[in-house]
């Protein structure tokens, strides 16, 4: 790997690796009360007393809050005053405050890997009733003993600086992907923007207006679509998708597949081809609310404006080839591939609207129920270029509806069909669309059937009030059924008004379903190509729901917009900005720091290759009859260790004998060097 040549030793940490092994361990143990969190259940004083008797422990203390400045001083002073050369803090999990103490001992000149956490909070006090203080105390002592045992053989590990590739991949050209691309490109970092549709803009460009200001989304987004398309730092690839991703934070290698467009870039977007194309099919972009040809562009302002041929529906009459004034149409175009190197990745592939067909009582898409549509279909109907020319008309007969009933939580908040989560956006877009119907067709009555009206945030509740003021009606109840009267052909919505506790039978001309936002189709394939985790609902999972909602489960891959969970445009844009900052940071800095926790291979290796196959990062290979470790790619996951039949491959500081020492501490064995 080329990265290996770029590896430099970072200043200050290039210490003698054998130093800590030569010195006799002098261990300091610090037991934290964590207020009542630990001390309420565990006798911390006794734990400290017992710790003092453990091998090589020269200092054992307890304190109210070890993570406070005073607590950290205790740890530091023990190094200065008692010659402590390894520390064990018995408090919370190692992900919570492990780094706090590691940094503290580093400031005192110790290698940070010589610190070890004993988790007596999550593993002990929090999961033991207060009435069992004695048992909890005993358990805490065992955890501390295990940590002390483990601490004995810890080695210093160096931190190295690795050079990063200055480029970012953004997947998805909707509002989140566009915002992230723009922000990153403006920092002078080259951006590859990959979009699977033939044009960028995403769902936002499908909307008629946006809440809470009822603005035109096309007008809001076009500076971004144009800006990104013309930005010198952005390489825009539409009709393309990510096939594979290798590598890690700082240095990814990505293969991108470009589907043939069958129209070259010299297309002037004159539209002759589409005008003459004899094939006409319902437009997916318009959710069936308009027709398109087999050669088409998604919408008039589409960027890029180059037409695209739909090979599936094309009858190959070649009229388009003949009428194109610039000869741009070319049926011989083939699939193409690009391999790019980037330092970070932003995933902004958005969402799909839930297809309500599985909810049988609503009869969506069933024959005779053409007047049951979704909010996205309504948006496309209201669009100026729709079949209805922006008028609210019943799909079945083209008449202006006297009454429209909207149903909330379709596919959301439903543990039987669809998803359990609240999409959180539908209350607002239903209010917005209700207002739009009243605007376009003032005579139409609009009724919204809801479970709870959820409009948190500035200007949102006000927006709901506005709907009430202009005469939109609200019924608190989830309709049980949409039924067509077999005699009259009229639609009926059955709902209980749970405020007056009255069952209601609403005869209506149209029903609009507020369908949930769900993970986009194909996210499984993309998710596994990226090696990132997904939530049980299928969205890409954030690293931490509170503290790091923008990073994926994998370092270097960031999430923007609805792919991390349903959200509105405002929040998608905000998260995109955050993703851009995180994705750009290591590239602007130019390097990342990597701790060299690596496996070592002993001479008894039989070259069976099991570890090479098992390594999820492809960091191992056999070279010159030896297992070679790619120090950059290795994530120290340790999976190579248990698969080795002879125990030759061992990860530093997690070697089998070290783990055995730790387990012995838990099971009652106190002898560290067994």
Residue 562 to residues 221, 424, 503, 507, 566, Cα–Cα distance (Å): 17, 11, 36, 35, 5
Asked if 485 is part of the footprint of another protein (rule: CB under 8 A), the reply reads yes
Asked if 361 is part of the footprint of another protein (rule: CB under 8 A), the reply reads yes
Tell me how crowded residue 497 is: count the other CB atoms within 10 A of its CB. Answer: 15
On whether the CB atoms of residues 202 and 376 are closer than 8 A, the answer is no
Cβ proximity to another protein: between 72 and 491 the closer is: 491
Asked if 486 is part of the footprint of another protein (rule: CB under 8 A), the reply reads yes
Cβ proximity to another protein: between 292 and 492 the closer is: 492
Q: How far is the CB of 475 from another protein (least distance, A)?
A: 19
Q: How far is the CB of 477 from another protein (least distance, A)?
A: 16
Tell me how crowded residue 434 is: count the other CB atoms within 10 A of its CB. Answer: 26
Q: How far is the CB of 491 from another protein (least distance, A)?
A: 11
Cβ proximity to another protein: between 341 and 483 the closer is: 483
Asked if 483 is part of the footprint of another protein (rule: CB under 8 A), the reply reads yes
Alpha carbon 261 to chain centroid distance?
30
Asked if 257 is part of the footprint of another protein (rule: CB under 8 A), the reply reads no
Residue whose C-alpha is closest to residue 538's, from 354, 345, 287: 354
Tell me the C-alpha distance between 55 and 27, whole Å. Answer: 9
Cβ proximity to another protein: between 282 and 368 the closer is: 368
For the chain, state the CA radius of gyration: 31
Choose the stretch contacting another protein; rule: CB under 8 A; options: 103-111, 390-398, 486-494, 582-590: 486-494
Tell me the C-alpha distance between 476 and 450, whole Å. Answer: 5
Residue whose C-alpha is closest to residue 662's, from 116, 110, 134: 116
Instruction: Name which position in 494, 538, 608, 653 contacts another protein (CB under 8 A).
Output: 494
The pattern of x and - marking residues 331 through 360 that bind another protein according to CB under 8 A reads: -----------------------------x
Query: Does residue 218 have a cis peptide bond before it, meaning omega lies within 30 degrees of 0?
Result: no
Asked if 489 is part of the footprint of another protein (rule: CB under 8 A), the reply reads no
On whether the CB atoms of residues 637 and 598 are closer than 8 A, the answer is no
User: Which residues in 160-199 contact another protein (CB under 8 A)?
Assistant: none
On whether the CB atoms of residues 263 and 330 are closer than 8 A, the answer is yes
Report the length, in residues, of the chain. 674
Cβ proximity to another protein: between 83 and 361 the closer is: 361
Cβ proximity to another protein: between 63 and 364 the closer is: 364
Q: How far is the CB of 396 from another protein (least distance, A)?
A: 18
Q: How far is the CB of 357 from another protein (least distance, A)?
A: 11
Cβ proximity to another protein: between 2 and 488 the closer is: 488
Alpha carbon 60 to chain centroid distance?
43
b/e sequence 444-478, b meaning 16+ C-beta within 10 Å: bbbbbbbbebbbeeeebeebbebbeeeebebbbbb
Choose the stretch contacting another protein; rule: CB under 8 A; options: 99-107, 130-138, 373-381, 484-492: 484-492
Asked if 507 is part of the footprint of another protein (rule: CB under 8 A), the reply reads no
Cβ proximity to another protein: between 99 and 368 the closer is: 368
Phi, psi of 224 (to 5 degrees): -75, -45
Asked if 327 is part of the footprint of another protein (rule: CB under 8 A), the reply reads no
Asked if 312 is part of the footprint of another protein (rule: CB under 8 A), the reply reads no
Residue whose C-alpha is closest to residue 320's, from 276, 369, 258, 382: 276
Alpha carbon 36 to chain centroid distance?
35
Instruction: Name which position in 492, 541, 571, 594 contacts another protein (CB under 8 A).
Output: 492
Instruction: Name which position in 487, 521, 546, 625 contacts another protein (CB under 8 A).
Output: 487
Question: Which chain residues interact with another protein by CB under 8 A?
Answer: 360-361, 481, 483, 485-487, 492, 494
């Amino acid at each position: 790997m080329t990265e290996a040549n770029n590896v430099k030793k970072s200043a200050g940490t290039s210490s003698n690796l054998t130093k800590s092994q030569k010195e006799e361990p002098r261990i300091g143990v610090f037991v934290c009360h964590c207020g009542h969190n630990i001390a309420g259940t565990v006798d911390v004083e006794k734990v400290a007393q017992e710790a003092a008797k453990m091998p090589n422990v020269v200092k054992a203390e307890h304190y109210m809050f070890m993570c406070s400045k005073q607590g950290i001083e205790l740890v530091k002073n023990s190094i200065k005053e008692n010659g402590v050369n390894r520390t064990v803090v018995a408090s919370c999990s190692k992900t919570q405050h492990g780094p706090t103490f590691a940094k503290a001992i580093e400031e005192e000149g110790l290698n940070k890997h010589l610190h070890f956490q004993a988790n007596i909070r999550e593993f002990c006090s929090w999961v033991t009733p207060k009435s069992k203080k004695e048992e909890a105390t005993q358990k805490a002592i065992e955890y501390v003993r295990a940590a002390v045992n483990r601490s004995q053989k810890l080695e210093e590990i160096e931190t190295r600086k690795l050079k990063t590739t200055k480029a970012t991949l953004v997947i998805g050209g909707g509002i989140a992907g566009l915002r992230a691309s723009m922000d990153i490109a403006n920092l002078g970092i080259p951006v590859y923007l990959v979009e699977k549709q033939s044009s960028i803009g995403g769902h936002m460009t499908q909307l008629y207006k946006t809440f809470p200001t009822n603005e035109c989304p096309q007008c809001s987004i076009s500076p971004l679509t144009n800006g990104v398309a013309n930005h010198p730092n952005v390489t825009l690839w539409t009709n393309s998708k990510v096939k594979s991703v290798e590598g890690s934070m700082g240095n990814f290698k990505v293969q991108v597949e470009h589907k043939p467009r069958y129209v070259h870039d010299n297309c002037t977007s004159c539209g002759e081809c589409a005008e003459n194309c004899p094939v006409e099919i319902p437009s997916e972009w318009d959710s069936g609310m308009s027709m398109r040809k087999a050669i088409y562009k998604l919408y008039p302002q589409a960027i890029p404006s180059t037409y695209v041929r739909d090979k599936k529906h094309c009858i190959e009459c070649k009229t388009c080839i003949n009428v194109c004034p610039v000869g741009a149409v070319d049926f011989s175009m083939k699939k193409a591939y690009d391999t790019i190197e980037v330092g970070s990745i932003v995933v902004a592939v958005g969402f799909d609207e839930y297809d309500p067909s599985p909810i049988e009582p609503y009869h969506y898409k069933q024959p005779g129920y053409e007047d049951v549509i979704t909010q996205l279909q309504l948006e496309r109907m209201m669009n100026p270029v729709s079949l209805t020319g922006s008028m609210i008309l019943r799909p079945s007969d083209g008449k202006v509806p006297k009454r429209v009933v909207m149903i909330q939580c379709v596919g959301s908040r439903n543990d039987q069909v669809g998803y359990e989560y609240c999409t959180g956006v539908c209350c607002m877009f239903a209010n917005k669309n209700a207002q739009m119907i009243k605007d376009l067709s003032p005579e139409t009555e609009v009724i919204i059937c809801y479970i709870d009206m959820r409009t948190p945030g500035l200007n949102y509740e006000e927006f709901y009030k506005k709907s009430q003021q202009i005469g939109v009606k609200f019924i608190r109840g989830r309709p049980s059924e949409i039924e067509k009267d077999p005699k009259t052909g009229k639609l009926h919505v059955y709902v209980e008004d749970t405020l007056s506790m009255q069952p209601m039978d609403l005869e209506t001309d149209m029903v609009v379903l507020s369908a949930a936002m769900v993970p986009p189709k194909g996210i499984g394939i993309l998710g596994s190509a990226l090696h990132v985790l997904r939530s049980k609902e299928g969205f890409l999972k954030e690293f931490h729901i509170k503290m790091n909602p923008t990073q994926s489960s994998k370092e270097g891959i960031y999430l923007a917009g609805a792919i991390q969970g349903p959200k509105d445009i405002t929040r998608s844009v905000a998260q995109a900005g955050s993703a851009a900052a995180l994705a750009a940071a290591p590239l602007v800095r130019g390097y990342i720091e990597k701790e060299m926790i690596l496996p070592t291979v002993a001479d008894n290796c039989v070259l069976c290759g099991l570890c090479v196959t098992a390594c999820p990062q492809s960091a191992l290979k056999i070279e010159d009859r030896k297992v070679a470790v790619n120090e950059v790619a290795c994530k120290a996951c340790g999976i190579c260790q248990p698969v080795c039949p002879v125990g030759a491959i061992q990860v530093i500081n997690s070697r089998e004998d070290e783990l055995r020492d730790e387990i012995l501490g838990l099971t009652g064995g106190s002898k560290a060097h067994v």
